[in-house]
Amino acid sequence: MTASTTSSEPVTGLILSGGGARAAYQVGVLAAVADLLPDAAENPFPVIVGTSAGAINAVSLACGALHFGEAVRRLTAVWQGFRTHQVYRSDWRGVFHQAGRFIGHSLLGLGRQLPVALLDSRPLAELLQRELDFSGISAAVRQRRLRAVAVTAFGYESAQAVTFYQGRATIDPWFRHRRVGVPTRLSLQHLLASASIPLMFPPVKINREYFGDGAMRQSAPISPALHLGATRVLVIGVSDNPQGEPVNNAFGHPPAVLPPSLAQIGGHLLNSAFIDSLESDIELLERLNLMSRLIPEERQSRGLGVKPVEVLVISPSQPLDEIAARHRRELPAVLRLFLRGPGATQASGAGVLSYLLFEQGYCNELVELGYQDAMAKKEALSDFLCLARPSLAQASVAPA
C-alpha cells in the first residue's frame, strides 16, 4: 500500500466511506474544511475517492472542484433539506407496490429478468440527475484542479470491487486480488451502482455486469487513493465507534433477555460492510508507516523501503445509531410500519435506521456533529492542509 507518485509535492487524497444517511456527517466535516480555507481557495483535494453514499458526496465535490466552497455549500444545502421521498419511494402505494414486486420476484420467481429490491430508488436517480453536472469533472481535470475522482462498486458476477475513476491520462489502471481500477468517464449509473445497498436498493447494470454497493468485499478502501497518486489522506468515517476508540461491551451489562432482532442483526451486517474494512485498512496503514520509520534512511533513498503515507481520520464523537433512535418518528408512517416488525424502530435496531433515515432533523444533526468534530481538530486539519493556524474566534458556528 504505497503512493504511486514520486513527486516531492504532497498530493492530498480525500476518502469518503459509505453509510447511507450517515454520510450527512461527511458534509459537516467538509463544511468545516471550507470555512478553514482562505476565501476563493482552490480545491484542497486533488484526489477524491468515495464509496456508496460517500461516492455521491465525492462526485459532487469533483463536479464543483473549480469552485470548492460553492460545491460544499450546494452539497450542504441538499443534505440539510433531505426528505426520505427524495431517495426512495416512501408513500403507501409505492412501498406496497415495491414489497409486492420483491415477494413475487424472490419467492415466486416472477419478473426475474428485472432487478428488484425492497426499496424503489428511482427518486435518488432523479435527484442526482438534477443536481450534478458531470462535465465539471473534465473541466477540473483540464485545469489541473483535480487529479482524479473515483467511485467503487461491487460486481456481482466477477465478485470484484471495481474502482471506476476519471482523471489524468497518466494514471495507470491496477489489478489486485478481487479489486481493480478502471479508467472511465463517470456517469449517473456509476453513482447509483456504488450506492446500491444489497437487497435494499436494486443492482445497476454497467456494460455487461450488474453492480451493487462498493462497500461489499472492499478489503482496502484507502488503496484506490494511493493508486491515483495520493501521498497523504484525509479519511472521514461514519463509524459508530466514537473517534475509533476501542469498545468492549461484553462485560458489565446484564444478559440479554430476548434474542437479537432482524434489525439488530442487519445493523451489524451493514456496519461490517461499511465500517470494519475501513478501520482495518487504517490500522494496516499505520503499521506500515511505523515499519517505514524503522528502515534506515539510506535504504529508503535507494527505494528499498515503504514510503509512509500521512493519514488524518475524523469520525463521529457520538454514536450515530443513538442519534437515529431520537429521530425515528421522522420516518414516514408506512416505513415505520414495515420496520416495526424487524425491530428497526427500537433502540437495539436503530443501526439499520441510521442508514435509511434521510430526514431533515437527523441529517441536520449529523451535519452539525461533523462540523463540530472537525473544528475540534482544526489545528490538526490546518497542519494537514498546510494552512495558517485559525484563530480561536474563527469558524465557531456550525453551517446554517
Catalytic site includes residue 52: yes
With H, G, I as helix, E, B as strand and everything else as coil, classify residue 132: coil
Picking from 186, 151, 164, the residue whose alpha carbon sits closest to that of residue 23 is: 151
105-133 core/surface letters (b: 16 or more CB in 10 A; e: else): beeeeeeeeebbbbbbbebbeeebeeebe
Catalytic site includes residue 213: yes
Whether 315 contacts 242, CB under 8 Å: yes
Catalytic residue among 17, 35, 52, 194, which?
A: 52
Picking from 47, 27, 18, the residue whose alpha carbon sits closest to that of residue 226 is: 47
Catalytic residue among 35, 120, 194, 213, which?
A: 213
Q: Give the residues across from 151 on adjacent strands.
A: 50, 164
Q: What is the CB-side half-sphere exposure of residue 87 using CA atoms within 13 A?
A: 24
Cβ atoms < 10 Å from Cβ of 243: 15
Whether 70 contacts 37, CB under 8 Å: no
Whether 137 contacts 166, CB under 8 Å: yes
CB under 8 Å to 220, separation ≥6 — which residues? 1, 176, 179, 277, 281
Q: Give the residues across from 150 on adjacent strands.
A: 49, 165
Task: Please give the Cα distance from 381 to 314 (Å, whole number).
Answer: 9
Residue 316, amino acid: P
Task: Please give the Cα distance from 307 to 305 (Å, whole number).
Answer: 6
Distances, alpha carbon 1 to alpha carbons 18, 88, 298, in Å:
21, 37, 21
The three grid cell numbers given for residue 287, joined into one nine-digit string: 503499521
CB under 8 Å to 389, separation ≥6 — which residues? 379, 382
Q: What angle do CA 262, 268, 269 make, to 5 degrees?
A: 85
Catalytic residues: 52, 213
